[in-house]
A and B are shown apart, each in its own frame.
Chain A
Amino acid sequence: MITPAGLAAHPRLPMLSFYRDKHEQPKGPDMTLSLPDGLIVVAKADCPTCRLIEPLLAELDQSGSLTVLVQDSEEYAAALPGTRYDRTLEQSFRLGIEFVPTLIRVEQGVEVERTYGWHKEDWRVLSGIGDLGEDLPVMRPGCGSKTLDPGIAEELELAFGDVQLQSREIDISSADDAIEACYERGWSDGLPVVPPTPVRVLRMLKGTERAGDQVLGLMPPDLVPCTVEKVAINAVMAGCKPEYMPVLLAAVEAALTDEFGLHGLTCTTMFGSPMIVVNGPITRAIGMNSGVNALGQGNRANATIGRALQLIVRNVGGGRPGEIDRSAMGNPGKYSFCFAEAEDSDWLPLAQERGVPAGRSAVTLFPGEGVQGIVDQKSRDPESLARSFALSLRTVDHAKLAMAGDAVLAVSPEHARVFIDAGWSKQRLREELEQLLLAPGADLVAGAGGITEGIPDRFKDKQVPKFRPGGLLIVRVGGTAGLFSAIIAGWAASGPVGSSPVTCEVTS
């Protein structure tokens, strides 16, 4: 169990400094001091193994210089001159302690080896005392270091590590309540946010391998650099877990593409706003909902990932309603709109249709409006159900408009089964719908049917598709009971003129 220094040692060990008292700590870059030569034991009074070896410490002390660092008590090994209560855990942190007891041998200011737990042979070799602990058992495992207790690690890293958070610190110590302070500063979407303390932000950043200062792109409408750290701060406020970060980062990357056109989507007087559809194994790993009530409330990942993206648009980009966000009505999805597809082996998942290899995870960003249900409890064959869908899809934007807004058709499992049992793939359904949605231009032109709204007169002699090519997306989602599907209409300025759906793989 003895490990050579450098393997088990903390990555920061070469820069290690060692202080008997925090007040001795110099400020500035030249804080590399050598460790005290001899032996260092790091222990915890409430660790039975540490108690087991406590009687040996006097013997170790007599054989040479011994420093005992105690993480939780002033009384452990108190009689020994080299015992220190590591109350702040700074020294344990700087030594990279993971277990107690840990025994370290230092020569000429440099750690040469360490062992942890009680392994009689290792302790004898490391201390050079051949009969050390004769009466003790051969081996006893130790306990976890207090530096790794839940919630402690990031506090220590912030206090003693080399963490570099870039964002401005706002002192709200005069405020009665941190949540109210966030409201007052305009950081909220209307619901309470989790106050973004440095510790919470650092924890959030642990959810990604990316550096906090990595710039993901320029966030409209203000076109300011959006860093991973700003994403993490807003993820904290939205209530995300760190493990959601890769999904959120992919969604932000998708939002920042030119194709997605977030600037226009944010500014529009229409309804749309970024909606996130997630595919692949990450959805199960982080517990996303693709089933009962998937488009609704109640699942933390769905709710907070979608919310975090909206908060980023608001806080980083400056896209606030009534300012740059000019939506006449908005839609409830502007709080949060994010769900997972209920993937099924018979229907190709959305991400794979859009080029992501099977087994990989991806987000697809869509400029979604609200949810319009399609109630069809009678169709039992695919032809009837497809006609039902097509008729309902005509209402996207307006029944007399065409090739304007894209749409997502959200097919429930019970409806999907009607197609799957008849051998219809998603692609087949899409092709059938495209045919069914062709309409005589004469019915759609402005003025037709006594309605002034409509498409230009030049289409009156043509068969007109409802959606532009690629403008109809199909996902399978929802609970297993209910012969209902849904339409999520897109922005009426879909495609190159405004916003196109964008799929980004979830990486890190």
Chain B
Amino acid sequence: MNESILLDPTAERAPAERARLARPDSLNGKVVGLLDISKPRGNVFLDRIEEQLSGMGIEVKRYAKPTFTRIAPTELKQQIAAEVDLLVEGLAD
């Protein structure tokens, strides 16, 4: 059976496309995570971001994936979700 089309079980009050999470109005009081996916020089980019955020008085936490070739380990994802409000990651080198 083709399962690529589903019928909406809801009252259809939300758009058919899922909306992205709303961006916060301000970073005040937020904790920002910086995820290094372990591609070369990603740390250079993230070091600079940290420098700027810290300069604004925003708390920053750093994380790194063991390798960019695989998705992040579950433990790391859970740790990030528990510790930060936002996450920035450098996707390419």
Contacts and interface: CB of A to CB of B under 8 A. Distances in A.
Contacts of B12: 167-168
A234 B7 CA distance: 10
Interface in A196-213: 196-201
B1 to A, nearest CB: 6
Contact of A170 (B1, B2, B8, B11): B8
A170 B13 contact: no
B11 A196 contact: no
Interface string B4-27: 111111111100101000000000
Main DSSP-derived SS at the B contact region: loop
Contact of B6 (A195, A224, A315): A195
A56 interface: no
A315 B3 CA distance: 20
B11 A167 contact: no
Given A167-B12, A222-B13, A318-B13, A172 B4 contact: yes
Given A184-B18, A224-B13, A168 B3 contact: no
B12 to A, nearest CB: 5
A500 to B, nearest CB: 26
Interface residues of A, number: 35
A233 B1 contact: no
Output the residue of B2, B5, B16 with the most chain A CB within 10 A: B5
B13 A230 contact: no
Main DSSP-derived SS at the A contact region: mixed
A187 B3 contact: no
Contact of A199 (B1, B10, B11, B18): B1
Interface in A208-243: 219, 222, 224, 229-230, 233-234, 237
B7 A169 contact: yes
A373 B10 CA distance: 37
Output the residue of B3, B6, B12 with the most chain A CB within 10 A: B6
B80 to A, nearest CB: 19
Contacts of B7: 165, 167-170, 196-198, 201, 229, 233
A316 interface: yes
A234 B4 CA distance: 17
A197 B3 CA distance: 6
Interface in B45-93: none
A477 interface: no
Contact of A318 (B1, B2, B11, B16): B11
A201 B3 CA distance: 12
A150 B10 CA distance: 29
B63 to A, nearest CB: 24
A237 B3 contact: no
A199 B4 CA distance: 12
B2 A168 contact: no
A187 B5 contact: no
Contacts of A200: 1
A311 B6 CA distance: 16
A378 interface: no
A216 to B, nearest CB: 13
A182 B6 contact: yes
Nearest to A226: B11
A8 interface: no
B5 A230 contact: no
A345 interface: no
Contacts of B9: 167, 187, 196, 230, 233-234, 237, 311, 315-316
A195 B3 contact: yes
Interface string A163-207: 001011111110000100110110100000001111111000000
Contacts of A196: 6-7, 9
Contacts of A201: 7
Interface of B: 1-13, 16, 18
29 contacts: A165-B7, A167-B7, A167-B12, A168-B7, A168-B8, A169-B5, A169-B7, A170-B5, A170-B6, A170-B7, A171-B4, A171-B5, A172-B3, A172-B5, A172-B6, A185-B18, A187-B9, A187-B10, A195-B6, A196-B9, A197-B2, A197-B5, A197-B6, A201-B7, A219-B11, A224-B11, A233-B8, A237-B9, A318-B11
Interface of A: 151, 165, 167-173, 178, 181-182, 184-185, 187, 195-201, 219, 222, 224, 229-230, 233-234, 237, 311, 315-318
Given A167-B7, A187-B10, A222-B11, 4 more contacts: A181-B6, A219-B11, A233-B7, A318-B10
